[in-house]
Amino acid sequence: MWGQRSNFVGLPTDCPQRDERLGWSADAQVFWRAASYNMDLTAFSRKFSGDLRATQVGTAMFGIYAPGTNLINPGYGTGWSDAGVVIPWTSWIQTGDRAVVDQNWDAMKNYLAAIHEANPDYLWKKNYGIPFADWLAPEGVTPVDLIATAYWAYDVTLMKQMASATGRTAEAAEYGELFGKIKEAFVKAYTHPDGWVGGVPPPPVFASGTQTSLAGQPVETQTGYVLAINMNLVPESLRKAAGQRLADRIAANHGQLGTGFLGTPYLLAALTDTGHLDVAYHLLLDTEYPSWGYLVEHGATTMWERWNGDQMRKDPSMNSYNHYAYGAVADWVYRYAAGIDTVSSDAGFHTIYLHPNFSDALGAVNFSYESRYGTIRSEWSVEGGKASWKLTIPANSSGRLPAAVADGLRLDGKELAGNPRVHVMHDGGETVYEVPAGSYAFEATLK
């Protein structure tokens, strides 16, 4: 929150204190969803999206920061330029504001068309711009083309959702088809039948942690697994195996994360979605380097740019103690720990997707979010293997629990199936439990 308050002034600067102070787009896009929970960014999102559009000078590519300087494109790079798609999508999914989609549609469409034109084989290996890779990852360099292809696929997924929401039916179908082709190419190029995910990194241009492999040799990294899982690029039959390999890499790294600017925001979600909630909570609460707890225990009052910022004092030109990017972990706390999430079919918390993850390691959560429909509240505590969860759904909205979450929950002493306060629905062949506006007190036994 302190990092956001001191950086979100006119534009989302990466840091407020050194001579850089620019609207770096990767820092912004990875943090934007967490930031949208913290503050109402509806107008700010429209403004910064406009700044990003303005960097498309003589090119369809969004700049690595915005506004650009001297009315020229400041250069582009995968994970950075993708902010031109990610930020409008985030604003829409959080608020239901379709205007931000319409304002940026042509710019986003042109950006993705330029990527496709340069990469007709559906692997983003050409014209991916400045190879920042997974910036400042302790584990080392993740192949840039793997990152680029994963982000291309992610952008296309977001475009399909926005197209569906705004009545662009034909384009939604086109982006759905394009995603399928990118995924097929990704699977062939970067995965093995045993769930292995990796690629061949080029010689690093920017020092991004310690290089762990020789150029030309295939490598796997935590970030490679995280992006493949989060961007839905691992075949369903291999998701569990890929998730296990991610957990194994963390275990082999003494239980420590090894991700940088692009891998960290999705790390805990990738672990949770593949059945490794215990590892996610371990990383969240860890205090050894590198971790969020390490920053706190070493005096941090805002997020650092480097996990080891305290060890890099001799390099003030490339070290910041107020860089909010790693604060993206708050997104996981809000959406996964507290369980208050959105759905693309009904954005803006009109329909609230509920998927709390109870844990005796954390012990308790008390989260409130001021949505456009009123206060959404999720408060839970765990004691003696039992979870108590208090939930408030505001007027004119509803909550939906997937069957996997509803299994084991009890409301008023009764299971959800057949409970008079809960409606059973079927969405895309899956059973979901709908709870209307109101206050609820659930109980569950931890598995």
Query: Active-site residue numbers?
Result: 20, 305
Distance CA 211, CA 428 (A): 44
Distance CA 385, CA 439 (A): 23
Please report, for residues 6, 297, 306, 388, the alpha-carbon distance to residue 289 in angstroms, rounded to integers and kept in the order given.
26, 10, 11, 33
**What is the full DSSP assignment across 130-181?**
S---STT-TT-PPPHHHHHHHHHHHHHHHHHHHHHHTT-HHHHHHHHHHHHH
Distance CA 125, CA 116 (A): 11
* Whether 149 contacts 124, CB under 8 Å: yes
Q: Tell the residue number behind the tokens 């034109």, with chain if given.
A: 117
Residue type, 201: P
Our CA dihedral for 399, 403, 409, 410, rounded to 10 degrees, sits at 80
Phi-psi region of 97 (alpha: psi -120 to 50; beta: other; left: phi over 0): beta
Distance CA 316, CA 323 (A): 14
Please report, for residues 122, 166, 202, 356, the alpha-carbon distance to residue 398 in angstroms, rounded to integers and kept in the order given.
39, 22, 49, 16
Angle subtended at Cα 208 by Cα 251 and Cα 309, rounded to the nearest 5 degrees: 80
Please report, for residues 71, 311, 421, the alpha-carbon distance to residue 261 in angstroms, rounded to integers and kept in the order given.
27, 18, 43
Task: For residue 75, give the DSSP letter.
Answer: -
* Whether 106 contacts 50, CB under 8 Å: no
Name the β-bridge partners of 370.
375
Name the β-bridge partners of 197.
191
